[in-house]
Structure 1
Amino acid sequence: MLIRTEAPADILAIDRLLKSVFETDAEAKLVMSLRENSHLTLSLVACSDEGEVIGHTMFSPVMLDGTDHNWQGLAPLAVKEEFRKQGIGETLVKEGLSSLHEFGYPACVVLGDPNYYSRMGFKSASQFDLTCAWEVPAGAFQAVELASGAFDEHSGVIEYCPEFNEL
């Protein structure tokens, strides 16, 4: 398996993957819209040994109470059904977080299963006095510092790019 940055040739494969993994086309439309509106910070694919795109994750900017702190949001994360439970999603996320750190992004948030994302260092965002702009289940909104002290002296509501409001 190879993890790499999305290339233009991957766009249709990513679109097909997202449409096959999620119940609706909403995530595929979201990814396309984020890409078209230049709200994509990092997009990674996992490829099989044969070069097939079998996993994808994307990171895009988020704001804290309307202020840009260079923080990122992880969404979506998708792995082709027959390749699940092999650590591909976790590898994609860890590689993404490592790349974001190297690029100087100080923090990342995610909305998802706390049991899953805690394995990658995410903690309940409420521990950092951060809340999601949408009403979400307790513990589902999580955050991770990529730079020590990123959340110090910050609290408030995290807002995703406007494209997320169309979901």
Structure 2
Amino acid sequence: MLIRTEIPVDAAGIDRLLRRAFPGGAEADLVQQLREDGLLTLGVVATDDEGGVVGYVAFSPVDIQGEDRNWVALAPLAVDEPLRRQGLGEKLVYEGLDSLNEFGYAAVVVLGDPAYYGRFGFKPAAAHDLQCRWPDTEAAFQLFTLSDEALSDASGQVEFSPPFDRF
């Protein structure tokens, strides 16, 4: 198993994984659109011994009240069914957070299960007066800071990239 930053040759394997993991194809379409629009900040893949994509996490830019504060959103995260509950998702998330930290990003937001993402240090964004546009998501909308200054004067609506408008 190899965990690394995605490269162009991974795109087809990422698409197949996302379509297996998320029936309906919305997440696969989202990643494809983010990539086409130049809005895929970082993608991390896990590949098997034959080079097939078996895990993936994407990060894309978000704004706070229309201001670019060097924050990103984590979405989607996928692991092939036979490999779930073995720590692969955790490795993908940590690899992404480490890379984003090295690149100087300030914070990461996620809309997901608080019990799962809380293990990585994500905290409720609402505690910092931050919210997203989707109704009834306060508990699921979470934040991970990568810099001490990330929350300085940060509050209000977190705006995801346009491809998320389909959700």
**Coarse TM-score class (shorter-chain normalised):** over 0.9
Aligned residues of 2:111 and 2:137 also touching (Cα < 8 A): no
TM-score by length of 2: 0.97
CA RMSD of aligned residues (A): 1.0
1:36 aligned to 2:36? yes
Q: Which letter does structure 2 place at the counterpart of 1:119?
A: R
Give the 4+ runs in structure 1 shifted more than 4 A.
none
SS at match of 1:120: coil
Query: Match for residue 4 of structure 2?
Result: 4
What is the correspondence of 1:17-166 to structure 2 with a 5 Å cutoff? 17-166=17-166
Report the count of equivalent residues. Answer: 167
Q: Which letter does structure 2 place at the counterpart of 1:22?
A: F
> C-alpha displacement at 1:154, in angstroms?
1.3
Aligned residues of 2:45 and 2:56 also touching (Cα < 8 A): yes
CA distance in 1, matches of 2:72, 2:153: 18
Q: Which letter does structure 2 place at the counterpart of 1:96?
A: G
SS at match of 1:71: strand
Listed as ranges, the gaps of 5+ residues in structure 1 are none
1:13 aligned to 2:13? yes
> C-alpha displacement at 1:24, in angstroms?
1.0
Q: Which letter does structure 1 place at the counterpart of 2:139?
A: G
SS at match of 1:110: strand
Listed as ranges, the gaps of 5+ residues in structure 2 are none
CA distance in 2, matches of 1:51, 1:101: 27
> C-alpha displacement at 1:162, in angstroms?
0.6
> C-alpha displacement at 1:51, in angstroms?
2.1
CA distance in 1, matches of 2:71, 2:19: 27
Deviations 1:79-114 (A, max 9, x none): 000000011111101110110010000100000000
Q: Which letter does structure 1 place at the counterpart of 2:20?
A: S
CA distance in 1, matches of 2:83, 2:142: 25
> C-alpha displacement at 1:137, in angstroms?
3.0
Deviations 1:139-161 (A, max 9, x none): 10000100113112211010100
CA distance in 1, matches of 2:90, 2:136: 22
SS at match of 1:70: strand
Q: Which letter does structure 2 place at the counterpart of 1:61?
A: P
CA distance in 1, matches of 2:112, 2:125: 12
CA distance in 1, matches of 2:165, 2:74: 15
Deviations 1:39-84 (A, max 9, x none): 0100110112332210001000001011110100000000000000
